[in-house]
Structure 1
């Protein structure tokens, strides 16, 4: 019954909607009674009708509601008021302009009036022949008409784009008006129009002129863009987008020359040259089929990957319409994710331009990026892994969040959950050949560090890779890096590596095959650093609350001998961590510890601490020595204290 009530409530018209409809009907009836007066033969009769309309619109009532006003305005008022602009009586024309101004401000959708309003304004301000005097003879009315055009620009903005020809025809004459106030108002209107409709289309005559002469101009221009004189390069680069804007799709036949020039010019040290060339590449994307420009750009990148080539690609895609770029999205993302492009350079400029390509695809294609999210995430992962600048890594992370948003998920960790299997499968394919500087190792590190709960779903990929790469025969620097990352995720095991509760099933592999070999003593500082890293990792494991008491006892059974040897390490940090680990082992064991194993532990702990309070230790030892079945260990401890001077 409750569901039925909700359905009825949704289906029933809202009271406000019914009221608005009634107001619109009431307003239509009121206006219909006044409109016939606009057709009166006498000037006073038409003026009285316009005055009555003014009062009806200015007084409080149905006309004050934009929604109720929109229908009667567009259907009844607008066409009749536009006819009044050519009324023989100056007063009637002035009232018509005032009512048009009022109507535009009141209407819920002022842009709906543009198809009728703009031609009417052009007809009154310019007329069929620009050289003649405008049809509107009154200076004040010409000013009011230009002000009305300015109001339309302010209210409608970019919606004026389809009506630019009419707006420009009106301004072309009003800018030369004898009345100074009209010229000033026209200048302001022209500036507002340029700002509202920046996407500059040139008139047909100019486009045709450029098209006919492009083959003569373009070669010399492309030559000058790479001239040794800075001023020549800047001016030539600024002219190129102007030519491409006029040439439109006719630039296709010259595309190879244009792209070759852009590839070279985008390496220029002069920022103004690069900026103009970026704009030119955007226009290539706007007017040239992506099937054509992608074939040329991607083939060049495949042969010689470069930062300038990636900038041209990103700019072209940014200028390409979504519906044209969408069919090529998967192919572009797949090509960018290839190692010969995304791993071609660790230079931050190259990686920044690679990031621009991904940003262009996400910003243009939006949710269509779902078909290529794995490849795009792979590219972003590479950028994060290889980037030297923190700012660049942050931008890549922001783009990951944008990709997640267009895919309809809450964060980049959800992207990892969706794709972590294929990502790790690709990254770990070459793990036996990794060194500390391998891009795949850096990518693997980023995945492990950032994937969060998704990591717990990928243990079949993660643990075998760690086992192989953390063997003593592998690169020491790589092992240090991996131990550091493993320690980090173990400290947050519930939210990372054990999110699915599966990590304890890999415990034997971690202890016997990963930690135990790296806790073995080997000479050298690097080996000592690795033992410290391994001990830290073991401490993270035992303190993470992931393991049960029985599992900790299993770890103790496996690793206690190695942990005891680390009590003699030179590093204070290693000794401290080892003590904490042994403390955890003892607390967990309770009364289940084998006395023989305990005897092997506590003399070494006592010996290490004997320098702190030697006198106290001697007194306590002598007080209990007679209680021991064998006094051997107590005697060894007393001899150690006597041999080692007390620490101050």
Structure 2
């Protein structure tokens, strides 16, 4: 409480030295330190005016969590009160160290922490948009630990801000998201209730513009699938025994996800597709781009199970493939080709051709072209006459000018 900042900082340093170097200092010291820490850091207003001293006090708090983790339960309420204030401290370094302390506390007292964890969620989320990328990264990793070891209901308010950071320009921030989402998909106690919310983030990470991050996301995704396979081994035993060989007709130069990954997506595709269809038509191009990337990964993981959701997906693809952004168009065309590798052409064409009855658009023909390109040739031969007859119908081919029809036909000739 000394008026001199130097004395206060020195006092904190002495206490830290004693705790670090004297093994006979037991947990009784906590009872002496906590009232001071609460008074200096845990009030509604900042009592300790010195940023350096506040940082030293947070460092002391981290040391207490590290050394006396099992003895801190009676003081958990005070610890939470302190962290809710210091996480939003104006000083960036204090924000960062406080987030790290919150992570350590969540891991140290998971059973007790559960009841208090929600108090930390809102303060940590405030740092998701901080101007310093290191603060954003630390906050994301911290929220991962706080939610995983705390009340899993906090996933709901976190998903929106977490998804927004997928557009972060700093690769390390996107990497932190992939790591947190992967950890939740494997360790979150209530993860089965949130698979459909979490899968789009990890699947989109597979398409990250940074090759190293995409490769790391792939490894994380494979680990997730392997764990899911082990957890559901009894349900999937017949499938595991039957599917010993990869399909003969598979997209070239594409590595196939393991059975656990595919099953996980297949069982949640119905919950993912409605939101995906909406985002493919979003007004923001970045959102549409991420959605088109997700579309490709969804097709590659869901494979034949997309048949049940094909009509809704195709409607979104007709629209998205006419996007002004060439990257979105490329991804949707790629998804159409992938789709044709898994769904027989007679099934897809039975939906695509009737959709063109009311008017042929660039979107219809681009998707049709992708399906024709990706279909297995032996299965496609019997369908080509029907496609040709439809396209030469008077009410179809005379709807546009000659130049428009020539442009349209260039999409389906391969």
TM-score, length of structure 1 as denominator length:
0.43
Shift of 1:217: 5.8
Deviation at 1:459, TM superposition (A): 0.6
Where does residue 545 of structure 1 map in the other structure?
A: 378
Helix, strand or coil: the match of 1:437? Answer: helix
CA offsets 1:175-231 (integer angstroms, 9 cap, x no match): xxxxxxxxxxxxxxxxxxxxxxxxx9972333333335433565799866x54xxxx
Residue aligning to 1:466: 317
Give the whole-Å Cα distance in 1 for the aligned partners of 2:124 and 2:116. 13
In the alignment, which residue of structure 2 is the partner of 1:350?
173
| In the alignment, structure 1 residue 437 sits paired with structure 2 residue 286 | yes
How many equivalent residue pairs? 335
The corresponding residue for 1:508 is 353
CA distance in structure 2 between the partners assigned to 1:391 and 1:242 by the alignment: 34
Q: Which residue of 2 aligns with 1:595?
A: none
Distance 1:454 1:263, change over 3 A: farther
Q: Show the counterpart of 2:217.
A: 396
Matched residue, 2:202: 380
Residues 489 and 233 of structure 1: CA distance in aligned 2, closer, same or farther (over 3 Å): farther
Q: Secondary structure at 2:311's aligned position in 1?
A: helix
Aligned with 1:483 (options 333, 339, 364): 333
- Work out the CA distance in 2 between the residues paired with 1:276 and 1:337: 22
User: Cα–Cα, structure 1 residues 537 and 454, in superposed 2: closer, same or farther, change >3 Å?
Assistant: same
1:292 aligns with 2:292: no
Following TM superposition, by how much is the alpha carbon of 1:502 offset from its aligned partner in structure 2, in angstroms?
3.0
Superimposed CA distance per residue, residues 88-130 of structure 1 (whole angstroms, 9 cap, x where no aligned partner)? xxxxxxxxxxxxxxxxxxxxxxxxxxxxxxxxxxxxxxxxxxx
TM-aligned CA distance change 1:300 to 1:437, over 3 Å: same
- Higher-Rg structure is 1
User: Which residue of structure 2 aligns with residue 205 of structure 1?
Assistant: 28
After superposition, residues 385-424 of structure 1 pair within 5 angstroms as: 387-407=208-228, 408-409=231-232, 410-424=259-273
Whole-angstrom CA distance in 1 between matches of 2:306 and 2:318: 16
Matches within 5 A, 1:75-114: none
Q: Gapped runs of 5+ residues in structure 2?
A: 1-22, 131-135, 233-258
Structure 2 SS opposite 1:413: helix
Check whether the contact 2:280–2:292 (CA below 8 A) recurs between aligned residues. Answer: yes
CA distance in 2, matches of 1:243, 1:216: 17
Aligned residue among 378, 386, 395 for 1:554: 386
**Residue number in structure 2 paired with 1:316:** 146
Q: 1:221 to 1:380 in 2, by over 3 A?
A: farther
Report which of the two has the higher share of helix.
1
Query: Residues 215-252 of structure 1: CA distance to partner in whole angstroms, max 9, x if unpaired?
Result: 3565799866x54xxxx898665433113454713142
CA gap 1:314/1:537 in 2 versus in 1, 3 angstroms: closer
Mark the CA change 1:309 to 1:239 in structure 2 (over 3 Å): closer, same or farther: same
Please say if residues 185 and 191 of structure 2, whose CA atoms lie closer than 8 Å, have aligned partners that are also in contact: yes
Evaluate the alpha carbon distance shift between residue 390 and residue 264 of structure 1 in structure 2; reply closer, same or farther with a 3 A threshold. Answer: farther
Distance 1:468 1:206 in 2: 66
Distance change >3 Å, CA 433–CA 285, structure 1 → 2:
same
State the match for 1:590 in structure 2: none
1:336 & 1:487 partners in 2: Cα distance? 35
Cα 1:248–1:384 change in 2 (3 A) is same
What's the CA shift for 1:372? 2.3
Distance 2:311 2:405 in 1: 34
Tell me, yes or no, if structure 1 residue 283 matches structure 2 residue 105. Answer: yes
2:182 equivalent to 1:332 = no
The 1-side partners of 2:80 and 2:300 are apart by 44
Equivalent residue for 1:214, pick from 37, 57, 66: 37
Distance in structure 2 (CA, Å) of the matches to 1:346 and 1:425: 21
Q: CA deviation at 1:507?
A: 4.2
Whether 2:343 is the aligned partner of 1:497: answer: yes
The answer (yes or no) to whether the contact 2:339–2:374 under 8 Å persists in 1 is: no
The CA RMSD over aligned residues, in Å, is: 4.5
Residue 147 of structure 1 aligns with which residue?
none
- Distance across 2 between alignment mates of 1:233 and 1:451: 51
Structural mapping, 1:16-35, within 5 Å? none
Q: CA deviation at 1:422?
A: 0.9
Are residues 252 and 437 of structure 1, via their aligned partners in 2, closer, same or farther at CA, if it must alter by over 3 Å?
same
Aligned pair in 2 of structure 1 residues 223, 381: CA closer, same or farther (>3 Å)? farther
Structure 2 partner of 1:258: 83
Give the structure 2 partner of residue 94 of structure 1. none
* 2:275 alignment partner, SS class: helix
Would the aligned equivalents of 2:38 and 2:82 in 1 still touch at CA under 8 Å?
no
Tell me which residue corresponds to 1:56: none
Aligned residues of 1:355 and 1:396 also touching (Cα < 8 A): yes
Question: In the alignment, is the contact (CA less than 8 A) between 1:459 and 1:497 conserved in 2?
Answer: no
Secondary structure of the residue aligned to 2:344 is coil
State the 1:465 CA deviation: 1.5
Distance (Å, rounded) in 2 between the aligned partners of 1:201 and 1:455: 64
Compared with structure 1, are the counterparts of its residues 209 and 359 closer, same or farther at alpha carbon in structure 2 (3 Å cutoff)?
farther
The answer on whether the counterparts of 2:128 and 2:165 sit within 8 Å (CA) in structure 1 is no
Distance 2:212 2:92 in 1: 22
Structure 1 residue ranges without an equivalent (≥5): 1-199, 521-530, 582-648
Counterpart contact for 1:265–1:274, Cα < 8 Å:
no
SS of 2:380's partner is coil
